[in-house]
Chain A
Amino acid sequence: DIVMTQSPDSLAVSLGERATINCKSSQSVLYSSNNKNYLAWYKQKPGQPPKLLIYWASTRESGVPDRFSGSGSGTDFTLTISSLQAEDVAVYFCQQYYSTPLTFGGGTKVEIK
């Protein structure tokens, strides 16, 4: 199984400042035949299901604000919120969809400082 490790577990950022979340996979999720990283990021607010933010490691889902960006390749990935807004307070999860069992990171809780 591919183990996904997120860091930090939580972070507090001032409004308008940058938030950075890291995700590391225990093996590469880069598929060589199409050069795509099978890595997604989700946002979950309390009492709600997760919502897809980013797929293929760096492609924003339709309707996701451009302050959210994803980067990285192979085994190391980053989700960046360039200017934190109040509505960004949530838990963020990374996920590999390269192979079954599909696996998630443990989550990172983002709060306002």
Chain B
Amino acid sequence: EVQLVESGGALVQPGGSLRLSCAASGFTFSSYALSWVRQAPGKGLEWVSGISASVGRTYYADSVQGRFTISRADSKNMLFLQMNSLRVDDAAIYYCVKGGQTVAGNAYDTWGRGTLVTVSS
């Protein structure tokens, strides 16, 4: 069974940092691009960042460019999102998602259950 399990969400103060993790299983991790999608409470979906398979090329939404860093550890089947300089509007459920080999070009056929990030003083 293909599975994605996020962790690392927490309550953090504005300006703080957090590192999210996503553990993958049930598929050849290194062959697939992975992304983070977030959803603020009661709101819609926002793509945050993605990383391609193989060369690990990274992509970011303008709203997080320069503050967030996506990375992957293929040997451990893990995806990460380092979030710095967090703002109140970064608060959301963060989903780890799987598509195809490239960040664009495929729909997301697998979603994790998400991890909640709360940014508040």
- Of the candidates B47, B59, B109, the one whose C-beta lies within 8 Å of that of A104 is B47
- Does A97 contact B45, Cβ atoms closer than 8 Å? no
B85-121 interface with A by 8 A CB criterion: 95, 99, 103-109, 111-114
- Does B44 contact A100, Cβ atoms closer than 8 Å? no
- Does B112 contact A49, Cβ atoms closer than 8 Å? yes
Does B46 reach chain A (CB closer than 8 Å)? yes
Q: What is the distance, in angstroms, from B6's C-beta to the closest C-beta of chain A?
A: 10
Say what secondary structure dominates the interface of chain B: loop
How many residues belonging to A are interface residues under a CB distance threshold of 8 Å? 24
- Of the candidates A93, A97, A98, A102, the one whose C-beta lies within 8 Å of that of B44 is A93
Does A30 reach chain B (CB closer than 8 Å)? no
Does A40 reach chain B (CB closer than 8 Å)? yes
Does B61 reach chain A (CB closer than 8 Å)? yes
- Does B108 contact A40, Cβ atoms closer than 8 Å? yes
CA separation between A39 and B105, bound complex, in Å?
10
Q: Provide the B37-63 mask, 1 if CB < 8 A to any CB of A, else 0.
A: 000000011110010000000010110
Q: What is the distance, in angstroms, from B66's C-beta to the closest C-beta of chain A?
A: 15
CA separation between A99 and B62, bound complex, in Å?
14
Does B35 reach chain A (CB closer than 8 Å)? yes
Q: Provide the A42-60 mask, 1 if CB < 8 A to any CB of B, else 0.
A: 1000001111100110000
Does A103 reach chain B (CB closer than 8 Å)? yes
Does A17 reach chain B (CB closer than 8 Å)? no
- Of the candidates B46, B59, B112, the one whose C-beta lies within 8 Å of that of A100 is B59
Does A107 reach chain B (CB closer than 8 Å)? yes
- Does B44 contact A104, Cβ atoms closer than 8 Å? yes
Q: What is the distance, in angstroms, from B42's C-beta to the closest C-beta of chain A?
A: 10
CA separation between A15 and B61, bound complex, in Å?
39
Task: Provide 8 A-B residue pairs closer than 8 Å at the C-beta atoms, listed in order of the A residue.
Answer: A38-B104, A50-B95, A50-B111, A52-B109, A97-B107, A100-B59, A104-B44, A104-B46
